[in-house]
């Protein structure tokens, strides 16, 4: 009987080739390595081959934390929105429940105007009248905005698009919260991509801070040309603020003149 047969019999795997637990404890590592070499295998034999128990590797079970799962779901939602056409985007906004603002809304306020406009005006969020009608800037602030547009020979719906950072009314007309703006961010981002405006006018601190990702004041942002993902952007006051602070209307008029001169240069 050759050496290989003897070793296999000692291992308890001849003639049925079935490993017996009682035999494992009685063999040394050198014998195992010799048997492995004779069978042409390159498997490494553990140094502690004389242990009386055989350890079986178990698959590692990984779990995903709720926060990570929520983040992944949010990113999937964002990717889907950033690939929508106008029709799908409008339907998604109308059905959106991404933040608590949907609970008390009457209507979502998607935006209005020329979908291929050169001019894009962005405010912060709908007020009570906008929530009731589903259109941005339809109250007193809207009337002032229309007058501001007319002053630089523009008109709502004609080469002009008007949108807001958030699409549902914050309670009491308060400023949108960070989580609410994050929920609506893909919608505005996709609107801007579809419109491809030549110039963006951010109206008010909330819109300016959101689009420029800054905490700087309106005073420090006015009068300078900024950029949103390569698109020129100008900051001015929100029409609702101008209704409460009449002296700043002159500053807003200067911003509009700056915007008009900028558009003349880039056209």
Contact 191, 111 (CB under 8 A): yes
DSSP 100: G
- Residue where the block lists tokens 């494992």: 24
Could you give the angle at which helices 205-212 and 178-195 cross, rounded to 10 degrees?
A: 70
Contact 256, 119 (CB under 8 A): no
Tabulate helix, strand, coil % of the chain (nearest 5).
50, 10, 40
Q: pLDDT (tens digit, 9 = 90+) per residue, 56-94?
A: 445 555 555 666 666 777 788 999 999 999 999 999 999
Closest to 115 (Cα-Cα) out of 85, 154, 149, 160? 160
Give the H/E segment covering residue 233. strand 231-236
DSSP 26: T
Predicted TM-score of the model (pTM): 0.74
pLDDT value, residue 44: 45
What is residue 226's three-state secondary structure? strand
Q: pLDDT (tens digit, 9 = 90+) per residue, 100-144?
A: 999 999 999 999 999 999 999 999 999 999 999 999 999 999 999
DSSP 238: -
| C-alpha–C-alpha distance, residues 227 and 234, integer Å | 8
What is residue 164's three-state secondary structure? strand
Backbone angles phi, psi at 26, to 5 degrees: -100, 5
| C-alpha–C-alpha distance, residues 221 and 33, integer Å | 76
Q: What percentage of residues in the chain have a pLDDT greater than 90?
A: 70
* 30 pLDDT more than 90: no
* 2 pLDDT more than 80: no
Q: What CATH number has the domain spanning 66-266? A: 3.40.470.10
Tokens of 256: 């509009």
Domain layout of the chain by residue ranges: 1-57, 66-266
Tokens of 125: 């969020």
| C-alpha–C-alpha distance, residues 177 and 157, integer Å | 29
| C-alpha–C-alpha distance, residues 163 and 137, integer Å | 9
How many CA atoms are closer than 13 Å to the CA of 91, on its beta-carbon side? 6
């Amino acid at each position: 009987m050759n050496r290989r047969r003897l070793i296999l019999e000692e291992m308890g795997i001849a003639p049925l080739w079935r490993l017996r637990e009682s035999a494992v404890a009685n063999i040394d590592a050198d014998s195992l390595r010799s048997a492995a070499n004779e069978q042409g295998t390159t498997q490494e034999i553990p140094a502690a081959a004389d242990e009386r128990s055989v350890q079986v590797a178990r698959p590692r079970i990984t779990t995903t934390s709720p926060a990570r799962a929520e983040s992944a779901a949010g990113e999937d939602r964002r990717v889907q929105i950033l690939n929508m056409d106008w029709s799908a985007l409008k339907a998604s906004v109308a059905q959106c429940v991404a933040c608590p603002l949907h609970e008390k809304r009457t209507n979502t306020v998607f935006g209005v105007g020329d979908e291929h406009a050169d001019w894009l005006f962005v405010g912060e969020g709908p007020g009570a009248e906008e929530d009731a009608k589903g259109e941005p800037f339809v109250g007193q602030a809207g009337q002032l905005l229309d007058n501001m547009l007319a002053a630089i020979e523009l008109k709502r719906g004609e080469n002009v698009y008007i949108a807001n950072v958030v699409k549902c009314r914050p309670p009491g007309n308060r400023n949108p919260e960070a989580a609410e703006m994050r929920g609506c961010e893909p919608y505005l981002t996709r609107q801007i991509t579809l419109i491809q405006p030549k110039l963006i006018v951010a109206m008010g601190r909330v819109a300016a801070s959101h689009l420029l990702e800054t905490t700087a004041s309106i005073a420090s942002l006015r009068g300078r040309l900024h950029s949103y993902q390569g698109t020129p952007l100008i900051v001015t006051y929100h029409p609702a603020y101008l209704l409460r602070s009449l002296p700043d209307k002159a500053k807003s008029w200067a911003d509009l003149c700056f915007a008009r001169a900028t558009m003349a240069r880039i056209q």
